[in-house]
Amino acid sequence: MPRQLLVRILRDQIKPALGCTEPGAVAYGVALAKELLDSPITELKITVDKNILKNGMNVGIPGTKERGLTFAAALALVIGKSQYVLETLKDVTPGSIQTAREIMESGIVKLKLNKEADRLYICVEARGKEDKSRVIIKDDHTNVVFKSKDNQILLNTEATVLATPIPKEIKYRIKNYCIEELIEFARGVSIARLTFIQEGIDMNMHVAKIGLQKDLGIGLGKFFFSKAKDVFDRAKAYTAAASEARMSGYPLPVMSSAGSGNHGLVAITPLAAIGSEMGISEENIIRSVTLSHLLTIYVKVHTGALSPVCGCGIAAGVGCSAGLTLLLGGSNEQIKAAISNMAAGISGMICDGAKLGCSYKLSIAVDAAIDAANMALEAIYIPFDNGILAETVEKTIQNMALVSKVGMSNTDNVILDILMK
């Protein structure tokens, strides 16, 4: 399989994200709908799937003390610029916050759950004094499949918005590769083609250091750092601190992976922290982070953009375990063993929405990834006949996805019901 395609997939799936991705995606949709109109918006209706609602309900909005999807939408009406994509809200000011609050109080922003949408789904319907617009984002946080103004359809890539799609996004083509090919790509591709990976390393480590310096979140990162006994403990602390900064709404972007900022923190931060402190070369750190991204994307295209299980654990955690094994000199077989070890241990972590507590889930994922990698390096492999593990890591990942999409099909409904109450 061509290496250039993997470079294109990486570039497509590694993007800066300001704040939690779900409010960011809603804000992006609102900005697109707003920009289609010629008159001020007098009514805004947002319809989302259960996972967008779950993940956006209690998370901080960057640069503000506010939370939730409706405030993100109101703020997007004030300052949203669609060219910023997942950084749509980055121009926030005290004045714009106050205006967004006034919009909230006016009641023009309505949020509704689409109970039939079984994948990522955001529909924004905006009405002005003289015109109206509609924007639909589906299957991925930035995948716009429909746009219209008044009665004119401007974009329509699917006949019906809830039909089973034929995947068109480039990320799905990673399924054509086996894990061995992804490992060999990370090992052998020209480093000149991976220079963009360093941007994400720098970005996420910067946010992690801010998380340790400032009083953000609940102090989890600082707590772990104060108790750290080695480089691995400190890597966990850095990741937790970065997540706290992000979930509390600190106004700096992180580099996402496979559509999630928290996935990006797990996929990148531990490897950057461990590699730097151990004196490992910049090139080898970049290669290990590249593999981490690839495995994160590979798992996510099987499980879906949003799922009942915590993607920071089963996707980015798997990526982190593979990348760390490569970083520490592991063989291809040891990298695959680390993936299996990770799947054997953390595959049951549920996703109960985006919030400050995610920083603890991220730290658990990093802890498990470190254990999985170190076990593999010491030839400790969980046997393939245990539980959902299989003869190949590809089949193991498919089994994880099956448990998530079929076995836990009602889990999100139960979690959302709990959160709503």
The Cβ of residue 380 has, within 10 Å, a number of other Cβ atoms equal to 12
**pLDDT value at residue 122:** 97
Distance CA 59, CA 204 (A): 19
In a shared domain, residues 126 and 56: yes
Instruction: Copy the structure tokens of residue 252.
Output: 């700096």
**CATH number for the domain that contains residue 116:** 3.30.1330
| pLDDT given for residue 167 in this prediction | 53
Structural domain for 65, as ranges: 19-156
Q: What is the pLDDT of residues 10-51, one digit of tens each?
A: 999 999 988 888 999 999 999 999 999 998 999 999 999 999
* Predicted local distance difference test score (pLDDT) of residue 232: 97
- What is the structure's pLDDT at 58? 83
Does 11 reside within a domain? no
Quote the pLDDT of residue 415.
86
Please indicate, yes or no, if residue 4 is contained in any of the structural domains: no
| Burial of 353 (C-beta count, 10 Å sphere; 0-12/13-18/19+) | buried
Average pLDDT, the chain: 93
pLDDT tier, 307 (very low <50, low <70, confident <90, very high otherwise):
confident
Q: Give the model's pLDDT for residue 17.
A: 87
Our count of domains for the chain comes to: 2
pLDDT band at residue 355 under the 50/70/90 scheme? confident
Give the residue, 315 or 119, on which the prediction is more confident.
Answer: 315
Q: Is the pTM of this model over 0.75?
A: yes
3-state secondary structure of 41: strand
Please compute the mean of the pLDDT values over residues 342-354 and round it to a whole number. Answer: 89
Of 127, 156, 185, the position where a domain reaches its end is: 156
pLDDT at 230: 97
In this prediction, residues 334-348 reach a mean pLDDT of: 94
Is residue 14, in this structure, part of any structural domain at all?
no
Output the CA angle 137-143-165, nearest 5 degrees: 85
Rounded distance between C-alpha atoms, residue 60 and residue 67, angstroms = 4
Residues 213 and 127 in one domain: no
54 in Cβ contact with 136 (< 8 Å) = no
Q: Examine the domain organization and report whether 287 and 336 are in the same domain.
A: yes
State whether 291 and 410 are in the same domain: yes
Looking at residue 165, what is its pLDDT? 47
Same domain assignment for residues 349 and 205 = yes
- Cα distances (Å, whole numbers) of residue 139 to 52, 142, 172, 300, 306: 11, 9, 11, 11, 9
**CB neighbours (10 Å) of residue 183?**
22
CATH number at residue 246: 1.10.4100.10
Pinpoint the alpha helices (H) of 248-307. 261-277, 282-303
**Residue that is last in its domain, among 88, 121, 156:** 156
Q: Do 202 and 137 sit in the same domain of this protein?
A: no
Q: How far apart are CA 62 and CA 76, in angstroms?
A: 12
Predicted pLDDT at 133: 97
Residue located via tokens 């994948």: 119
Question: Is the residue at 333 inside a domain?
Answer: yes
Note whether 265 and 204 are within 8 A (CB).
yes
- Which pLDDT value is given to residue 159? 52
pLDDT band at residue 420 using 50, 70 and 90 as cut-offs:
confident
Q: Is residue 58 part of a domain?
A: yes
Q: Are residues 116 and 240 part of one domain?
A: no
User: CB burial class (10 A; 0-12, 13-18, 19+) of residue 35?
Assistant: middle
Residue 78 confidence (pLDDT) above 60? yes
Distance in angstroms (rounded) separating the CA atoms of residues 286 and 263: 17
Taking 90 as the threshold, does the pLDDT of residue 8 lie above it? yes
Q: State pLDDT tens for residues 241-288.
A: 999 999 888 989 999 999 899 999 999 999 999 999 999 999 999 999
pLDDT of residue 164: 45
Half-sphere exposure of 346 (CA within 13 A, CB side): 30
237 and 93 inside one domain: no
* For the chain, percent of residues with pLDDT exceeding 70: 97
Q: 313: which 2 tokens?
A: 């654990």
What is the C-alpha to C-alpha distance for residues 263 and 300, in angstroms, rounded to an integer? 10
pLDDT tens-place string over residues 137-182? 998 899 999 999 998 999 998 754 444 444 568 999 999 999 999 9
pLDDT of residue 158: 72
What percent of the chain shows pLDDT beyond 90? Answer: 78
pLDDT of residue 100: 97
In the three-class reduction of DSSP (H, G, I as helix; E, B as strand; rest coil), residue 66 is classed as coil
Same domain, 200 and 81: no
pLDDT at 80 over 50: yes
Quick one: tokens of 359?
Answer: 């920083």
How far is it, in rounded angstroms, from Cα 145 to Cα 193?
Answer: 30
Boundary-marking domain end, from 156, 189, 218 = 156
Output the pLDDT for position 168.
67
Q: Give me the amino acid identity at 150.
A: D
With vertex at residue 258, the alpha carbon angle to CA 97 and CA 231, rounded to the nearest 5 degrees, is 90
pLDDT average, residue stretch 352-369: 93
Interior/surface letters 81-120, b for 16+ CB within 10 angstroms, e for the rest: bbebbbbbbbebeeebbebbeebbeeebbebeebeebbbb
Q: Is 402 helix (H, G, I), strand (E, B) or coil?
A: helix
The region of weakest confidence among 6-10, 99-103, 161-165, 402-406 is: 161-165
Burial (CB count within 10 angstroms: exposed 0-12, middle 13-18, buried 19+), residue 24: buried
Contacts of 276 (CB under 8 A, 6+ apart): 205, 285
Give which of 259, 225, 262 is closest to 244, Cα–Cα: 262
Q: What is the pLDDT averaged over residues 369-398? A: 96
Same domain, 346 and 231: yes
**226/149 same-domain check:** no
> Is 401 a member of any domain?
yes
Say yes or no: 319 and 386 in one domain: yes
- 363 is a domain residue: yes
